[in-house]
Amino acid sequence: MKKLNPVVKVKGFATKQSVRLSEKTMAKTAIANNFLTDLSDVFLFLVQIFRETFSRNFEFKEFFRQCFQIGYKSLPLISITGTIMGLVLTIQSRPVLVKFGAVTMLPGMVAISLIREMGPVITALICAGKIGSGMGAELGSMKVTEQIDAMEVSSTNPMRFLVVTRVWAAIIMIPILILYADTFGIIGSWAGANIKGDVSFVLFFSQAFGQVHFMDLIPAVIKSFFFGAVIGCVGCYKGYNAGRGTESVGVAANSAVVLASLLVIIVDMIAVQITDMLL
């Protein structure tokens, strides 16, 4: 029998392959480490925001201005995406339901899908792109051009004026935008149902809301507030902590979208698990 050579282990010795592997592992660890650091910093930022919220002199005027910016100025985009969302969902689902002779279930099925999952998540992801990047870029450029420092020396707390107002505006307006998107989604679904059929608007709506229960809406609305908090907080955090160069404005906007989108998906997953356990 052939005797196997013993494996010789020499301290400090590494093959090219093991070096490559350790570099890959280090790179993966660095990504995970950065993500966790970002996550903890965003959490601490959120705590600071809540502390500033309940101190005196809440900037109501700026808060309403931000509500207008976040809410009203997003309406065209949300209307279009909401309508298309409902339309596509209906067109894709109809053939399967026809095959099983359950086409009358279409309005209810689409309404439940939109209200419970599709509406909140897709709208939140669109808002992460539009609102999160906007906040990141705006606050980032204010940091680079010393506007935040100018505010600080004008005896104005920039955290209270710029961040608290934006985060609360996002917390309030994003659930409203999600409900608005749901409504347009159902209108889009009705339009989709009428491409190959003939359903009246009233009948479609009564069939849709006949299947939707109050408990379908409540968890979706609750998680929408968390989506708003995540988008506002991440956008402001990335912008407020941007570096000093102009390049950092782009980095802030980009990383705000990436982190906010990722956190929206994670928050959704947690919300679904909790809802599933409770209901």
Partner 1 sequence: MNTSQTEILTDASSKNITGKPVIEINNLKKSFDKQEVLKNVSLTLNDGENLVVLGKSGSGKSVLIKCIVGLLTSDGGTIKVFENNVGELSRKELGELRHKIGFLFQSGALYDSMTVKQNLEFPLRRIKRNLTEKEIEEKVNEVLENVGLADALNKMPSQLSGGMRKRISLARTIVVDPMIMLYDEPTTGLDPVTSDEISSLINDVQKKYKTSSLIITHDIKCARSTANRIIMLNEGEIYMEGKLADFENSTDPFIESFLK
Kindly list the residues in this chain that would bind partner 1 in the complex (CB under 8 A): 138, 141-142, 145-147, 149-156
Residue 107 CA to residue 98 CA, distance in Å, equals: 13
* Shortest distance, position 142 Cβ to partner 1, whole Å: 8
Which bin fits 42, alpha (ψ -120 to 50), beta or left (φ > 0)? alpha
- Please name the amino acid found at residue 97: L
Report DSSP letters for 173-224, one per residue: HHHHHHHHHHHHHHHHHHHHHTTSS---HHHHHHHHHHH--HHHHHHHHHHH
Residue with Cβ nearer partner 1 (38 or 138): 138
* Shortest distance, position 241 Cβ to partner 1, whole Å: 16
Residue 267 CA to residue 226 CA, distance in Å, equals: 7
Which bin fits 145, alpha (ψ -120 to 50), beta or left (φ > 0)? alpha
Residue with Cβ nearer partner 1 (88 or 151): 151
Residue with Cβ nearer partner 1 (156 or 254): 156
CA dihedral 139, 140, 142, 145 (to 10 degrees): 180
Residue with Cβ nearer partner 1 (106 or 137): 137
* Shortest distance, position 131 Cβ to partner 1, whole Å: 16
* Shortest distance, position 144 Cβ to partner 1, whole Å: 9
Residue with Cβ nearer partner 1 (141 or 261): 141
Rg (CA), the chain: 24
Helix pair angle (247-278, 119-127), 10° resolution: 160
Task: Give CA angle at 80 (78, 85), nearest 5°.
Answer: 90
Residue with Cβ nearer partner 1 (10 or 153): 153
* Shortest distance, position 139 Cβ to partner 1, whole Å: 11
* Shortest distance, position 147 Cβ to partner 1, whole Å: 5
